[in-house]
Amino acid sequence: MQPLIKLENVEKTYKMGDQKVTALDKINLEIYPEDFVSIQGPSGSGKSTIVNMIGCLDTPSKGEIYLEKHNIAHLPESDLAQIRGKKIGFIFQIFNLIPSLTALENVALPMTFQNIPRYMRLKRAQELLNQVGLSNRLKHLPSELSGGQKQRVAIARSLINNPEIILADEPTGNLDIKTGNEIMQILKDFNKKGKTIILVTHNPELTKLANKKIILKDGKIIGG
């Protein structure tokens, strides 16, 4: 089987004045369709950097990144944005919902710039909110939802364009243990339905659902 994502000798360095910060140091990694990958490591070890590269939010200083057969390591932002919109769903620790939009509108938002009528966008958003157990909160604003409910909205939003890959960067970091476990179970269910999931977490307990585990330290993979 072909890897869905392949990183070859990926390096990311930042210049801070006359200092060089190495965020990723010769990373080699293959991720296959329907993998559930966990990425662990201390703060500053490069977890978000690796996720941002895979998510086409950033490009490496050196090395190659293949998404299916396409090398995305050196593409301009306009191309990256296109790929991102079609293939990748993002879930973040801080939810990133728009405060003035309802749950339904937040979920539908990434579909806005497609040539699809509004009622169809809202119908699809409603289906996804049903799938994450929020059919009774469609008209609620983010401020009227609990943390776990906000993260469910964010999960539904990440799926709206039917991406193959879900990138979740510490999605349970702001949630209590029970709610975090519920969120993980939802991710696992979508994994079983065919989504490839890449999960960044501090919590070793949460890596139990992963079939592939990566531990980062100082920008290097030191184990799994």
Which positions lie near Mg ion, rule CB under 5 A? 47-48
> Which partner from the list ligand ADP, Mg ion, none does 41 bind, CB cut-off 5 to 8 Å by kind?
ligand ADP
- Our CB check for ligand ADP shows the closer of 74 and 202 to be 202
Q: Is 21 among the residues that bind ligand ADP (CB under 6 A)?
A: yes
Q: Is 43 among the residues that bind ligand ADP (CB under 6 A)?
A: yes
Which residue in the shown chain puts its C-beta closest to Mg ion? 48
Q: Is 14 among the residues that bind ligand ADP (CB under 6 A)?
A: yes
* Joined tokens for residue 7: 């990183």
How much of the chain is helix, strand and coil, in % rounded to 5? 35, 30, 35
SS3 at position 74:
coil
Q: Is 94 among the residues that bind ligand ADP (CB under 6 A)?
A: no
Q: Is 1 among the residues that bind ligand ADP (CB under 6 A)?
A: no
- Our CB check for ligand ADP shows the closer of 46 and 110 to be 46
- Our CB check for Mg ion shows the closer of 49 and 196 to be 49
Of 35, 41, 175, 196, which one interacts with ligand ADP (CB under 6 A)? 41
> Which partner from the list ligand ADP, Mg ion, none does 6 bind, CB cut-off 5 to 8 Å by kind?
none
CB of 194 to Mg ion, least distance (A): 27
CB of 125 to ligand ADP, least distance (A): 30
- Our CB check for ligand ADP shows the closer of 48 and 106 to be 48
| DSSP tag of 25 | E
Cα–Cα distance for residue pair 185/35, rounded to 1 Å: 15
Contacts of 134 (CB under 8 A, 6+ apart): 103, 149, 152, 153, 156
CA distances from 84 to 36, 81, 93, 117, 218 (A): 19, 5, 19, 22, 27
CB of 46 to Mg ion, least distance (A): 8
Contacts of 122 (CB under 8 A, 6+ apart): 104, 105, 108
Of 3, 33, 44, 133, which one interacts with ligand ADP (CB under 6 A)? 44
Cα–Cα distance for residue pair 76/97, rounded to 1 Å: 27
* Joined tokens for residue 163: 């991406």
Strands 70-71 and 5-16: unpaired
> Which partner from the list ligand ADP, Mg ion, none does 121 bind, CB cut-off 5 to 8 Å by kind?
none
| DSSP tag of 209 | G
Q: What DSSP element (H or E) covers 197?
A: strand 196-200
Residues engaged in binding ligand ADP (CB under 6 A):
14, 16, 21, 23, 41, 43-49
